[in-house]
A and B are shown apart, each in its own frame.
Chain A
Amino acid sequence: GENVEQHPSTLSVQEGDSAVIKCTYSDSASNYFPWYKQELGKRPQLIIDIRSNVGEKKDQRIAVTLNKTAKHFSLHITETQPEDSAVYFCAARNTGKLIFGQGTTLQVKP
């Protein structure tokens, strides 16, 4: 089955800096890659997603890139703000279900 690895597990940046979180997946049949943000005590929420026929997608300060050949995808957050502090999960869709990575705790220091 699909396996998703996510790195780093924790990331601390200064406000205004960029943050990058990377994920790799194992099954080349996976075709949909969402990113979820979970703030403390709240539910995971979809922040951006990308399908396998697209290499890059951007939405304001966040962007996702996908390299199908290497089977990895990344989340990029620019001009980070304290409210970006949260746990971020990448996922890959395989046979109808999402398989998640281990999560990255992002701390943005003011």
Chain B
Amino acid sequence: EAGVTQFPSHSVIEKGQTVTLRCDPISGHDNLYWYRRVMGKEIKFLLHFVKESKQDESGMPNNRFLAERTGGTYSTLKVQPAELEDSGVYFCASSQVIGRAAGVGEKLFFGSGTQLSVL
């Protein structure tokens, strides 16, 4: 089974430029999440898609960040214009709720992340 894939693995851009990150979740996973980790801090929630709908975008820092998931498959996260504080590792994760009624938790599968450096 293919895992969650993210592209690119690294991106170095200058302040004010635009960057688009892509995530391909595990096939069949309706839930897709974006997270970000700034050096030494927690993996911070950004937003959650259920299929193509934004379920929760309470973690999005500001309107320079735009996430889409057209067709409910892959997702993109665009940062425009990028600022220095946007640097960090952006993780995508996907899940398929399994037997919630049976008491089984929702297991999240992560991609390898995109290391974004804004100079």
A residues neighboring B (CB under 8 Å): 1, 4, 6, 9, 32, 34, 36, 42-46, 49, 51, 53, 89, 91, 93, 95-103
Contact = CB atoms under 8 A, between A and B. Distances in A.
A98 B45 contact: yes
Contacts of B105: 32, 34, 49, 51, 93
Contacts of B42: 4, 6, 89, 100-103
Interface in B90-119: 91, 103, 105-113
Given A4-B42, A43-B113, A95-B56, A34 B107 contact: yes
A97 B113 CA distance: 18
Interface residues of B, number: 25
Prevailing SS type, chain B contact patch: loop
Contacts of B45: 97-100
Contacts of B56: 95-97
A73 to B, nearest CB: 13
Interface of B: 3-4, 33, 35, 40-45, 48, 55-56, 58, 91, 103, 105-113
Contacts of B112: 42-43
B107 A44 contact: no
A34 B41 contact: no
B48 A97 contact: yes
A8 to B, nearest CB: 13
